[in-house]
Chain A
Amino acid sequence: MQSQRKIRILIAKPGLDSHDRGAKIVARALRDAGMEVIYTGLRQTPEQIVETALQEDVDVIGLSILSGAHRTLFPRIMELLKQKDLTDMMVFAGGIIPEEDIPEMKKLGIKEIFGPGTRTDTIVQFVFDNIPKRP
């Protein structure tokens, strides 16, 4: 039987900023690389993002944030993923995240953080290289 596994990826915008240009460009690059990209739209709570990831059964979650609230929102998202036993999903992030915060974010379990000026093919390659294996 021919299996048709596709990479499913959630692009989410947590918090209150409405700058979604970056998220949409990344979403488009991932789509053009052959992935199925689910986009949440703006102003999502951590609960909404994690519930969406669960229902959509995604392999990867990409968080885009430019508001500066990442130190509040990211820990909450990672905690909820743990609570719902979704730790097999790979999480990466992008947006405006100061250099000095990056180690703290990575310690939470966020695999990579991409700042402004990152090439989309860098992100696409990163996702391909880090897709979690399914049981």
Chain B
Amino acid sequence: MTKIEEIVQGVLSGNRRSIARAITIIENNTAETHKLVASIYPHTGKAHIIGITGPGGSGKSTLIEKIIREYRRKDKTVGVIAVDPTSPFTGGAFLGDRIRMQELSTDQGVFIRSMATRNYMGGIAKATKDAVKVLDAAGKDIVIVETVGAGQSEVEIIKVAKTIVVIFAPGLGDEIQAIKAGMMEIADIFVVNKADRENANKAIMDIQAMLQLNNQEKTWKKPVLKTTALTGEGVPQLIERIEEHKHFLERQLEHKRSREKAEAELIEAIKEKVATSMIEKLKKEGKFEEFLKKILKKEMDPTSAAEKLLNEKFRNKV
């Protein structure tokens, strides 16, 4: 077994060392990265991927810690990719998101990885998408991606996550500014964190007002929730909404699938009807027998015969 095959085997069996190594290989973008990602890809698609974004200081990391605990109570395993910015000047990074989650670091059902953007734009790292695949293939039920949190234009997360939670906090100033910058469109769920603060209700009303101005989507009504991450208040309700959104996505997919299935069945049925009636007609006219003899004498192959027959048939009609 090569080193990469060994790591892939380890990832699929949930080995933590292998998961960590695989993410490093993806981050470092080595010659083996593609092979690694290609080998784990068939084993992905089972995890529900949640993106958590919002301005710095809104309480993303603290809230994620509570979200993990809630999922653990439900016996779900959780992977986290927490992204922080790389300095464009030195190339270094200070990765401090996991400080708020450290109590969970020894829980074998939780895997937390910090990731620097390495100057990739859009609020995540280039490696984030494939690192999520590693955690998915390793069997995590839930994968959470925490974006950088600059607050604006962090829309890359939409390519990675299935459910996107946008967090605000009262008193950060420009709630509306943040909403303007594209967060409105990417959010599936809004959360006003630090709800114990005075102007939390105003923040909620601001968001609801913006939503009413801008509500093109009728299928999923974007909820606006209140949480207090420090105490965990509102977190069970947030999980409920995340689960609801997951089911909504599944129903949509099911709808799409049943449509595709019905389409295929209809096409099949039409083909059969048309063919049967056509063959009957050709037999009545004696054409069928005529061409059959030509085929038997090897004067013609069946495909050309069918083509000729159909051409004649339709030319006559026109």
**Contact yes or no, B112 A55, CB < 8 A:** yes
Q: CB < 8 Å: which of B16, B33, B92 contacts A36? A: B92
B91→A1 contact, CB < 8 A: no
Binds A, one of B17-25, B215-223, B248-256: B17-25
Q: Which residue of A lies closest to B112 (CB)?
A: A55
Interface residues of A in 9-35 (CB under 8 A from B): 27-28, 30-35
Interchain CA distance A8-B127 in the complex, whole Å:
15
A27 to B21 alpha-carbon distance, docked (Å): 23
A32-B90, A32-B92, A56-B114 are known contacts. Are A44 and B102 too (CB-CB below 8 A)?
A: yes
The listed residue with most B CB atoms (<10 A of its CB), out of A3, A41, A51, A54, is A51
Are the C-beta atoms of B3 and A135 separated by less than 8 Å? yes
Residues of B with C-beta under 8 A to A86: 17
A27, B105: Cα distance in complex, Å: 20
What's the Cα separation between A72 and B16 when bound, in Å? 27
CB-CB < 8 A to A32: which residues of B? Answer: 87, 90, 92
Which residue of A39, A44, A51, A85 is within 8 Å of B96 (Cβ)?
A39
Say how far A125's CB is from chain B's closest CB, in angstroms: 15
CA of A41 to CA of B62, assembled, Å: 14
Contact A84 B17, beta carbon cutoff 8 Å: yes
Give the most central of A27, A36, A41, A47: most B CB within 10 Å: A36
Cα distance, A38 to B99, chains bound together (Å): 9
Chain B nearest CB from A97 CB (Å) reads 23
Residues on the A chain within 8 Å of B28, using CB: 3-6
User: Tally of A-B residue pairs with Cβ under 8 A?
Assistant: 97
Indicate if the CB atoms of B20 and A55 lie closer than 8 Å: yes
Given the complex of chains A and B, what is the CA–CA distance between A55 and B91 in angstroms?
Answer: 22
Q: Which residues of B contact A52 (CB under 8 A)?
A: 98, 102, 105
Q: B3 contacts A38, CB within 8 Å?
A: no
Q: Say yes or no: A27-B29 contact (C-beta < 8 A), given A40-B102, A54-B16, A54-B17.
A: no
Any A CB within 8 A of the CB of B204: no
Contact present for B92 and A1 (CB under 8 Å): no
**How far apart are the CA atoms of A36 and B125 in the complex, in Å?**
13
Residues of B with C-beta under 8 A to A135: 3
Most central of B29, B33, B92, B116 by chain A CB within 10 Å: B92
A27 touches B20 (CB 8 A): no
Contact A4 B27 (CB under 8 A): yes
Q: When each residue 64-100 of chain B gets 1 if its CB lies under 8 Å from chain A and 0 otherwise, what string results?
A: 0000000000000000000000110011111110111
Q: A3-B30, A39-B99, A44-B102 are in contact. Are A56 and B92 (CB under 8 A)?
A: no
> Does residue B118 face the partner (Cβ distance < 8 Å to A)?
yes
Residues of the A chain whose Cβ atoms lie less than 8 Å from the Cβ of B27:
4, 6
Instruction: Give B110's nearest chain A residue, CB to CB.
Output: A55
Task: Say yes or no: A31 contacts B87, CB within 8 Å.
Answer: yes
CB A36 to nearest CB in B, in angstroms, measures 5
* Given known A31-B93, A32-B92, A41-B99, contact A3–B105 (CB-CB < 8 A): no
Contact B113 A55 (CB under 8 A): yes
CB-CB under 8 A from B291, the residues of chain A are none
Instruction: Tell yes or no: A37 within 8 A of B by CB.
Output: yes
Tell me if B111 and A55 are in contact (CB < 8 A): yes
Task: Check: A87 CB closer than 8 A to any chain B CB.
Answer: no
Interface string of A30-71 (1 = CB under 8 A from B): 111111111111001101100110111100000000000000
Which residue from A1, A4, A36, A47 sits with its C-beta under 8 Å from B31?
Answer: A1
Query: How close is A44's CB to chain B, nearest CB, in angstroms?
Result: 7
Of all chain B residues, the one with the shortest Cβ separation from A31 is B92
Is A122 an interface residue, CB under 8 A from the partner?
no
Nearest residue, chain B, Cβ from A45 = B106
Q: How many Å lie between the Cα of A8 and that of B94 in the bound state?
A: 10
Determine whether the beta carbon of A57 is less than 8 Å from that of B24. yes
List 6 A-B pairs, Cβ < 8 Å. Answer: A1-B31, A30-B92, A33-B90, A39-B95, A51-B105, A135-B3
Identify 14 new A-B residue pairs, CB closer than 8 A, beyond the known A6-B27, A57-B20.
A3-B31, A6-B28, A6-B116, A31-B93, A34-B91, A34-B92, A37-B93, A37-B94, A38-B95, A38-B96, A55-B16, A55-B19, A55-B111, A84-B17
**A-to-B contact residues, CB < 8 Å:** 1-6, 8, 27-28, 30-41, 44-45, 47-48, 51-52, 54-57, 84-86, 135
